[in-house]
Structure formats: C-alpha cells, structure tokens
Amino acid sequence: MSSLSTLCLHCGLCCDGTLFTHVPLRATEAGPLKALGLPVKAREDGTLLLPQRCAALDGKRCTAYAERPEGCRRYHCHLFSALSEGEVSLEEALAVVDGAHALLASASGEKTPEVEDYLDRHFRGRRRRYTAQ
C-alpha cells in the first residue's frame, strides 16, 4: 500500500463531515450514487450534493470508491499534497492526523476555534484571520 493510501485510510476527515458538509455532484453522478443507497440531496436552486458524513464511509474506508463522485476524486487535502511532494514524511503526516483526531475527541466533536484552526492549517490549506472581538 502506498504512503498516500496509508494516510487516507488512517484519516477519513474529508468524508466524515469534519472538513466539509457536502460534496457537490454533477447530475450524471446522482443516479449511480442513489443506486448504491446513498442519500443525494438537492438545494433550492437544484444543485445536487452528497451530504457529509458520507453514508459510504465504513470506518475510514470508502465502500463506494469505484463510483465516488468527481469532487471526491479530485480532492487532495493539504496534508496529502505535502506528503506527495515529500514535504513531510508518512510518520509526520500520521502524527498530524492523530493530532486532529485527538483535538476532535477532546472537544467532543465540536468545531472550536482551536479545532478549526488546526483543520485549516493542516488539511484545508488555509490560514484563518482572527479579528478582535
């Protein structure tokens, strides 16, 4: 198994609802996903989406991997990119994932500012701007 696969199977944050609330779908993707029993939703404007936590996620493994939508196929988190470019080792990347899971557990799954900042920096690849309240 490649180090990238190892990372993804250790993480699952892009599919479990932690990083995103939904995956946008093309109209042609809805039928096959529905056939697999996955809930496809539509916004008021008709845009189709796959809600997250993904119903195809079993532990940290995608049970619809071969049929996953383009949005899932295209997505690589910041940590995945850093590992693929050799900027971090697999051990370092796994430690970051473990840190995210520990933060989420300590916050009882709540998306506190500390959790969001960690997710933004390591997974979403963006820096948050904080303003004085």
Domain boundaries, the chain: 1-14+77-133, 20-72
Strand order of the β-sheet with 48-51 is: 22-25, 48-51, 41-42
Tokens 């932690």 -> residue:
18
Please write the tens of the pLDDT for every residue from 92-126: 999 999 999 999 999 998 889 999 999 999 999 87
What pTM does this model have?
Answer: 0.86
Instruction: Say if CB 43 and CB 83 are below 8 A apart.
Output: no
* pLDDT, position 83: 96
Distance of CA 124 to the CA centre of its chain: 9
Distance of CA 120 to the CA centre of its chain: 12
* pLDDT, position 40: 97
Please write the tens of the pLDDT for every residue from 58-73: 999 999 998 999 999 9
Rounded Cα gap, residues 25 and 13, in angstroms: 19
Please write the tens of the pLDDT for every residue from 3-53: 999 999 999 999 999 999 999 999 999 999 999 999 999 999 999 999 999
Q: Which residues of 39-58 are buried (b: 16+ CB within 10 A; e: fewer)?
A: ebeeeeeeebbbebebbbbe
